[in-house]
Amino acid sequence: MKPVPPCIYSPCRALYRVLVPNHPRLVVSSAQTPPPPPPPPTLPVRQVRPYTRPPRRAAARGSPSSSSSSSSSSSSSSPGDGTPDEREAAAAAASIDKRYTTQRDVERSGRDRLPKDHEITDPRIMVIDGGAPEGPLPTPLVLERLAPHESLRMVQPYGAGGDAAAAAAAGPRYAVCKIVDKRDEQARQRALRERKRAAGAGGKPGPKAKTKTKELELTWAIGPHDLATKMRQMGGFLARGLKVELLIARKKGGRQVGGGEADALVDSIRGEVARSGGREAKPATGDAGGAMRLYLEGRQG
């Protein structure tokens, strides 16, 4: 029978290690302590869709694949095709770093705007911040120093400009980007949309913008205070050049109004229309005391 080894964690041995000097300390092997867990993997931050890549279009079922079409198109066009200017432009584009956004990249992107903020992949850019362009500056540094309400917008893409000799002598022309206030830009875009909406559908100016029509309703037995409120609303609409359809009807279970009182109400409404600069677009329909509709319009221009 094997003897039982003494426990190294017994109270007696613990006191012995504390009280007796120069006693060899207990060294716990690394096998008894589990290793620390590895740090979680960090994935690089990338855009889901780069700016310069056009949107993918699903091919119709039964049609040839996009790879075959692209290979056929690339094989059909060779570097020797085209005019000398086109061959020179193609050679210059091939020598440009792919990170720089050129006018050709903007046209191929399928977007109606230039890149902004983290869509800008150019390593160095010229920056406009309320004055003359400065730079070239590193793009990551410019983006890092932006305030929360600021945005970096490209206003001119990268390009050499001029002919090949001038480009070789002057060097590259970096993209020009402008620091804008997001709030001012949103207000400008909102005003632009309002102007397009007022000019006509789709932003195409027509011969005459369509005038909005407002509708107001009141009863023949309306009180003076409510009548003044309705007339103030009608006058505001007419002053803005809008059309107004005013319906005067009897209220079910309300006070009955005689012919003289109804005619007086219509006369007061027409007087308020004249004071507001409006007029009747066409004759009124209905009868006084029943259901009557007035067609009014404000001053134009």
* Same domain (yes/no): 93, 160: yes
Q: What percent of the chain is modeled with pLDDT above 90?
A: 4
Classify residue 144: in a domain, yes or no: yes
Number of domains in the chain: 2
* Same domain (yes/no): 159, 247: no
Q: pLDDT tens digit string along 258-269?
A: 888 888 998 999
Q: pLDDT tens digit string along 187-239?
A: 888 888 888 888 765 444 444 455 678 888 888 888 888 888 999 888 888 88
Q: pLDDT tens digit string along 97-153?
A: 788 888 888 888 778 788 888 888 888 999 988 778 888 899 999 999 888 888 888
Classify residue 97: in a domain, yes or no: yes
Classify residue 64: in a domain, yes or no: no
DSSP category for residue 164: H
- Write down the pLDDT at residue 290: 84
Question: Residue 244 is part of which domain span?
Answer: 213-297
Residue 68 pLDDT level (bands cut at 50, 70, 90): very low
Range from 20-34, 74-88, 116-130 carrying the lowest mean pLDDT: 74-88
Compute the distance between CA of residue 239 and CA of residue 191 in angstroms, rounded to an integer. Answer: 21
Classify residue 225: in a domain, yes or no: yes
Q: Within 10 A of 109 (CB to CB), how many other CB atoms are there?
A: 20
Compute the distance between CA of residue 41 and CA of residue 23 in angstroms, rounded to an integer. Answer: 44
Q: Within 10 A of 207 (CB to CB), how many other CB atoms are there?
A: 5
Cα–Cα distances in angstroms (integers) from residue 90 to residues 42, 63, 71, 112, in the given order: 39, 30, 18, 23
Compute the distance between CA of residue 170 and CA of residue 164 in angstroms, rounded to an integer. Answer: 10
What are the strands, taking DSSP E only, across 59-133?
Answer: 124-128
What is the pLDDT averaged over residues 74-89?
Answer: 52
Compute the distance between CA of residue 169 and CA of residue 262 in angstroms, rounded to an integer. Answer: 87
Classify residue 193: in a domain, yes or no: no
